[in-house]
Structure 1
Amino acid sequence: MSTPELGLPMVVPAPGLPARVRIHEVGPRDGLQNEKATVPTEVKAEFVRRLADAGLTTIEATSFVHPKWVPQLADAEALFPLVRDLPGVHLPVLVPNAHGLDRALALGATRVAVFASATQSFSKANLNRTVDEALAMFEPVVSQAKKDGLHVRSYLSMCFGDPWEGAVPVHQVVRVCRSLLDMGCDELSLGDTIGVATPGHVRELLTELNEAGVPTGSIGVHFHDTYGQALTNTLVALQHGVTTVDASAGGLGGCPYAKSATGNLATEDLVWMLQGLGIDTGVDLGRLTATSVWMAGRLGRPSPSRTVKALAGTAQPPKE
């Protein structure tokens, strides 16, 4: 136990938790893609730089989805060269298909991600394909990426609930996860897209994934905070041995499929909890908070993160 500094939690470790957690920061991609207004390219680049300065080492930079579908990220070719040489930082990018992979490879990307769904309804709505058709589309993309020496992550949405289908059977999620690993994905990100997961559901899914041969080390979790469960569900995942957690600086990003959804788990809220548990993240909470305050100013609205609101007056500004 240690006495807290101003603006930091008291450290009281709990047994059975990992010593370190890698935060997979999704704000620049998953967060900004939901903005109504397009954020200027240089502002996005500065956002990535400030996140890196705060100590985040995995920052999802952008998406190579066709601009027609995600106009907010239409500047991927312009943005990526501005940030790709940040020292010690991994900058994964989303690629929806072979063409997206080619675009990413041409710019020197070394980490890519594909985006699948555990449910038929969302797969058809988002990809205009059934689950199996989407998997068939991703297989050559993953295969080519691995041949080129890239790290491949797969996002799997609707792992806990679907706005059209309701609760998603665990075995259904396990089947798709197993297929993604079998085609060569290095990492799975289990998405609670509409924020309906609860601790017992999380524990059951992780246990059944292990029983199906999916190692905990290949699993990351991506919780939304629609019902205020994101941190609780994250803690359950940590107790299970998961060490990769997705989060979005300032809580950027929402879910269009759930009314009143508060969007992604805020990175600051996650870091506050992890620091209080004595878990190392390498992140400077003050600099991260200041970065989110800065970005909120560019977006013209306050951050929804509770920790940002609490610490905004004490945060140290990022290095210029």
Structure 2
Amino acid sequence: MNLPEQAMIIEVGPRDGLQNEKSFVPTEIKKEFIGQLKKAGIKEMELTSFVSPKWVPQMKDASEVVEASLGGGRDIVLAPNKKGIQRVYGTSCKAVAVFVGVSSTFNKKNINKTTEEAVTDLEPIISELKEKNYFVRACISTAFYCPYEGKINPESTVSLCQRFVGMGVDELSVADTIGMANPKNSFELFSKLKSSLGEVLLTAHFHDTRKMALANILASLQAGVDRFDASAGGLGGCPFAPGATGNVATEDVVYMLENMGVSTGINLDELVSAIDIVKPHVTRTIETGYYRLAHAIEQ
């Protein structure tokens, strides 16, 4: 079996995991959650989003969360447009995520732009960020399936990723936004991406809608991917993608990888403690495999 010695987990719980929560998670809890995730060994993390509080009220405390949480690794914030980028410039954060869907219908529903319009708008933003020495992560949504258009042509995903590489992004996070991909899809797409994108960091982002996320991660490992987005407690789900449930749970990914001899540098006990911090403040029931097991053993 083709396995790397190490894999990097990019924790997206504080941003992608919480953005869809209807109840506001107190700012101090977010800070404590992030701090404990770092204590667990997380080295790369999406902290928050600089988006309109009207559309995503959960992220209205973005500036405060960022300034209290920086340090100890690569801290990333999502900023989807010029207004968000200007807010990032007012902080000490030096890593930014932008996003676009492969599907134009998804983009129209989400940001009221076609894919082409969205990419055109992002080009000068990315250029400016790189001139200012920011790390730029491009999140590619609906890379496999779209809730409106169905199956996405893999060549469309590859072509879009190549355009972002041409703009100079540092990382591509390629997402199975509604959790419809299977291991064959994952192996084939990530094999194509690995062979066509050069040295850019390539990260796989899976949702566990149909309980296929771990299988898709294993298939991606076989294709040469060693970076994975995950969310502590399996929190998350895109508010603009009908049918999208939680992200793959960080604790389940870490448990699987470590038991296959792939080092993540993450302490599972400390990770469970991080989930315990945020659990009382979210509406989603946290019942991922490893989290349930850890508490069953305690009892």
Give the TM-score band, short-chain normalised: over 0.9
CA displacement, residues 238-288 of structure 1 (integer Å, 9 cap, x when unaligned) = 1111111000000011244344x5410000010010011111111000110
Q: What TM-score comes out, normalization by structure 1 length?
A: 0.89
CA deviations on 1:14-72 (whole Å, 9 max, x unpaired) are: x4211111100000000110100111111101110010011101111001112122111
- TM-score for the superposition, normalised by structure 2: 0.95
Moved over 6 A (4+): none
Aligned pair partner of 2:280 in 297, 303, 310: 297
Match of 1:236 in 2: 219
In structure 1, the partner of 2:294 is 311
Structure 2 CA distance for aligned equivalents of residues 46 and 301 of structure 1: 19
Report if aligned partners of 2:102, 2:115 keep a CA contact under 8 Å in 1: yes
Q: Distance between the aligned counterparts of 1:254 and 1:210, measured in 2?
A: 26
Q: Which of 226, 235, 246 is 1:263 aligned to? A: 246
Match of 1:186 in 2: 170
Alignment partner of 1:68 is 2:51 = no
- The 5-angstrom pairing of residues 37-76 of structure 1 reads 37-76=23-62
Aligned to 1:91: 75
SS at match of 1:254: coil
Query: Which residue of the other structure, out of 22, 33, 49, is the alignment partner of 2:8?
Result: 22
Is contact 1:216–1:241 with CA below 8 Å preserved after alignment?
A: no
CA distance in 2, matches of 1:210, 1:54: 30
Looking at structure 1, the residues matched to 246 and 199 of structure 2 have their Cα atoms a distance apart, in angstroms, of 25
- Distance in 2 (alpha carbons) for counterparts of 1:26 and 1:169: 26
* 1:174 aligns with one of 138, 142, 158: 158
* Percent identity between the two aligned chains: 42
Change (3 A) 1:81 1:210: closer
1:164 aligns with one of 141, 148, 156: 148
Structure with more contact order per residue of length (Cα contacts < 8 Å, sep ≥ 6): 2
Task: Tell me which amino acid in the other structure corresponds to 1:92.
Answer: I
Structure 1: gaps (5+ residues): 1-14, 316-320
Of residues 33, 36, 44 in structure 1, which corresponds to 2:22?
A: 36
Distance, in Å, in 2 between the alignment partners of 1:83 and 1:309 is 28
Q: Any unmatched runs of 5+ in structure 2?
A: none
Larger Rg: 1
Task: Please state how far the C-alpha of 1:298 moved relative to its aligned partner.
Answer: 2.8
Distance 2:291 2:217 in 1: 19
| Cross-structure match for 2:205 | 222
Tell me, what secondary structure is at the counterpart of 2:24? coil
Distance 1:71 1:310 in 2: 33
Aligned pair partner of 1:108 in 92, 111, 115: 92
